[in-house]
Amino acid sequence: MKKLINNPDNVVDEMIEGYVKAYPQYVKRLSDNKRSLVTAKETREGKVGVLIGGGSGHEPAFMGYVGDGMADGVAVGNIFASPPPDPILEVTRAIDKGAGVVYVYGNYAGDVMNFGMAAELADLEYGTKVGMVLVTDDIASAPKKESEKRRGIAGEFFVTKAAGAAAEKGYSLEDVVRVAKKANHLTRTMGVGLTPCSLPQTGKPSFELEDNEMEIGLGHHGEPGMEKGELQPADQVAERLVNEILADMPVENGEKVAVLVNGLGSTTRMELYIMFRRVEQILSEKGIEIHRSYVGDYSTSLEMGGCSVTLIKLDNELIELVNHPADCPMYVQK
Amino acid sequence: MKKLINNPDNVVDEMIEGYVKAYPQYVKRLSDNKRSLVTAKETREGKVGVLIGGGSGHEPAFMGYVGDGMADGVAVGNIFASPPPDPILEVTRAIDKGAGVVYVYGNYAGDVMNFGMAAELADLEYGTKVGMVLVTDDIASAPKKESEKRRGIAGEFFVTKAAGAAAEKGYSLEDVVRVAKKANHLTRTMGVGLTPCSLPQTGKPSFELEDNEMEIGLGHHGEPGMEKGELQPADQVAERLVNEILADMPVENGEKVAVLVNGLGSTTRMELYIMFRRVEQILSEKGIEIHRSYVGDYSTSLEMGGCSVTLIKLDNELIELVNHPADCPMYVQK
Amino acid sequence: MKFTAEDLKTFLKNVVDVMEENKDYLSELDRKIGDGDHGVTMSIGWQAINEKLKEELKTEKDCGKICIIAGRTFLSAVGSSVGPLYATGFLRGAKVFHGKSDLTDEELVDFWVAFIEGVKDRGKAELGDKTMVDTLQPALESLKSQFNQTRDFVAAFSKAVSAGEKGMMSTKDLLSKRGRSSRLGERSLGNQDPGATSAFLILSAFFTTVNSVHTV
Amino acid sequence: MKFTAEDLKTFLKNVVDVMEENKDYLSELDRKIGDGDHGVTMSIGWQAINEKLKEELKTEKDCGKICIIAGRTFLSAVGSSVGPLYATGFLRGAKVFHGKSDLTDEELVDFWVAFIEGVKDRGKAELGDKTMVDTLQPALESLKSQFNQTRDFVAAFSKAVSAGEKGMMSTKDLLSKRGRSSRLGERSLGNQDPGATSAFLILSAFFTTVNSVHTV
Ligand SMILES: Nc1ncnc2c1ncn2[C@@H]1O[C@H](COP(=O)(O)OP(=O)(O)O)[C@@H](O)[C@H]1O
Ligand SMILES: Nc1ncnc2c1ncn2[C@@H]1O[C@H](COP(=O)(O)OP(=O)(O)O)[C@@H](O)[C@H]1O
Ligand SMILES: [Mg+2]
Ligand SMILES: [Mg+2]
Ligand SMILES: [Mg+2]
Ligand SMILES: [Mg+2]
- Which residue's CA is the nearest one to ligand 1's atom 14? C195
CB contact under 8 A, A268 and B296: no
- From the options 3.20.190.10, 3.30.1180.20, 3.60.10.10, 3.40.190.10, give the CATH code of A187-322: 3.30.1180.20
> How much is the pLDDT for D100?
97
The model's pTM is 0.95
Is residue C180 less than 8 Å (CB to CB) from chain A?
Answer: yes
Domain count, chain D: 1
Chains interfacing with B (3 or more CB pairs < 8 Å): A, D
User: CA C179, C184, C190, C191 torsion: positive or negative?
Assistant: negative
Decide if B121 touches D, using CB distance below 8 A. Answer: no
A109/C75 CB distance under 8 A: no
Residues with CB under 6 A from ligand 2: B 80-81, 109-110; D 30, 34-35, 37-38, 41, 80-82, 85, 123-125, 131-133, 178-180, 193-196
**Which one, of C18, A279, A326, A299, lies nearest residue B17 by Cα?**
A279
**Tens digit of pLDDT per residue, chain A (334 long)?**
799 999 999 999 999 999 999 999 999 999 989 999 999 998 899 999 999 999 999 999 999 999 999 999 999 999 999 999 999 999 999 999 999 999 999 999 999 999 999 999 999 999 999 999 999 999 999 999 999 999 999 999 999 999 999 999 999 999 999 999 999 999 999 999 999 999 999 998 888 889 999 999 887 777 777 788 999 999 999 999 999 999 999 999 999 999 999 999 999 999 999 999 999 999 999 999 999 999 999 999 999 999 999 999 999 999 999 999 999 999 999 9
∠ CA A311-A206-C78, nearest 5°, is 90
| C197 part of a folded domain | yes
How far is the alpha carbon of A126 from chain B, nearest alpha carbon, in Å?
34
The percentage of residues in chain C with a pLDDT greater than 90, rounded to a whole number, is: 87
Cα–Cα distance between C74 and C119 in angstroms, integer? 14
- Reduced to 3 states, what is the DSSP secondary structure of residue A135? strand
pLDDT category, D177, cuts 50, 70, 90? confident
Q: How far apart are CA B182 and CA D53, in angstroms?
A: 48
Of A163, A157, A153, A229, the residue nearest A193 (C-alpha):
A229
Specify the DSSP element, H or E, that contains B101.
Answer: strand B101-106
pLDDT at C163: 98
8-state DSSP, B86: H
pLDDT tens for chain B, residues 1 to 334: 799 999 999 999 999 999 999 999 999 999 989 999 999 998 899 999 999 999 999 999 999 999 999 999 999 999 999 999 999 999 999 999 999 999 999 999 999 999 999 999 999 999 999 999 999 999 999 999 999 999 999 999 999 999 999 999 999 999 999 999 999 999 999 999 999 999 999 998 888 889 999 999 887 777 777 788 999 999 999 999 999 999 999 999 999 999 999 999 999 999 999 999 999 999 999 999 999 999 999 999 999 999 999 999 999 999 999 999 999 999 999 9
Q: Give chain A positions within 8 Å (CB) of B277.
A: 14-15, 17-18, 21
Residue nearest (by alpha carbon) to ligand 2 atom 25? D195
- Kindly state whether residue D13 falls inside one of the protein's structural domains: yes
Neighbour tally for C147: CB within 10 Å: 21
Q: Would you state the pLDDT for residue D184?
A: 66
Whether the pLDDT of residue C188 is over 60: the answer is: yes
Query: Smallest CA–CA separation between A287 and chain C, in Å?
Result: 33
- Decide: A258 and A292 in contact? Cβ < 8 Å: yes
According to DSSP, residue A138 is labeled: B
String of DSSP letters for A280-328: HHHHHHTT-EEEEEEEE-SS--TTBEEEEEEEEEE-HHHHHHHHS-EEE
> B57: which DSSP letter?
S
Residues of D in contact with B85 (CB under 8 A): 75, 79, 84
- Kindly determine whether residue A109 and residue C123, on different chains, have CB atoms separated by under 8 Å: yes
Q: Alpha-carbon distance C52 to B182, whole Å?
A: 57
In a domain, C94, yes or no: yes
**Are the beta carbons of A240 and A307 closer than 8 angstroms?**
no
Query: Which phi-psi region, left, alpha or beta, contains residue D40 (left: φ > 0; alpha: ψ -120 to 50)?
Result: alpha
CA-based nearest residue in chain A for residue C121: A113
Q: Identify the burial level of D59 via C-beta atoms within 10 angstroms of its C-beta, where 0-12 means exposed, 13-18 middle and 19 or more buried.
A: exposed
**According to the model, what pLDDT value does residue A87 have?**
98
Q: Do A113 and C85 touch (CB under 8 A)?
A: yes
3-class SS letters over B212-266: CEEEECCCCCCCCCCEEEECCCHHHHHHHHHHHHHHHCCCCCCCEEEEEEEECEC
Each residue's pLDDT tens digit, D186-208: 777 889 999 999 999 999 999 99
Average pLDDT over residues C40-44: 97
Which residues of D are less than 8 Å from B114 in CB distance?
Answer: 79-80, 83-84
Which residues on adjacent β-strands are paired with residue A49? A101
Res. D10: pLDDT tops 80: yes
Whether residue D216 is contained in a domain is answered as no
Q: What is the mean pLDDT of chain D?
A: 94
Distance C177 CA to ligand 3 centre (A): 16
Q: Is the pLDDT of residue C214 over 80?
A: no
**What class, spelled out in words, does domain B13-186 have in CATH?**
alpha beta
The CATH code of the domain that includes D61 is 1.25.40.340
pLDDT at residue C178 is higher than 80? no
Question: Can you tell me the distance from the alpha carbon of B171 to that of C170, in angstroms, rounded to the nearest whole number?
Answer: 75
**Residue range C64-85, pLDDT digits in tens:** 999 999 999 999 999 999 999 9
Question: Does residue C55 fall inside a structural domain?
Answer: yes
Q: Is the pLDDT of residue D144 over 90?
A: yes
Q: Give residue D185's pLDDT.
A: 67
Contacts of A315 (CB under 8 A, 6+ apart): A182, A186
Q: Select which of A185, A221, A291, A324 is catalytic.
A: A221
Domain annotation covers residue C129? yes
Q: Which residues 10-69 in chain C show a CB within 8 A of chain A?
A: 24, 27-28, 31-37, 39-41, 44
Backbone angles phi, psi at B123, to 5 degrees: -70, -50
Chain D nearest CA to B190, separation (Å): 13
Question: Across chain A, where does the E strand assignment appear?
Answer: 27-29, 36-39, 49-56, 73-79, 101-106, 130-135, 187-195, 213-216, 227-230, 256-263, 289-296, 305-314, 326-328, 331-333
pLDDT of residue B225: 75
Q: How far is the alpha carbon of C140 from chain A, nearest alpha carbon, in Å? A: 23
pLDDT of residue A148: 95
C-alpha of residue A71 to centroid of ligand 3, in Å:
23
Instruction: Quote the pLDDT of residue A223.
Output: 73
Other residues' Cβ atoms within 10 Å of the Cβ of residue C127:
15
Domains of chain A, by residue range, sit at: 13-186, 187-322
The chain B residue lying nearest D83, using CA atoms, is B84
Confidence band (pLDDT; 50, 70, 90) for D179? low
Using the beta-carbon criterion (under 8 Å), do A270 and B302 form an inter-chain contact?
yes
For residue C74, the enclosing domain spans 3-211
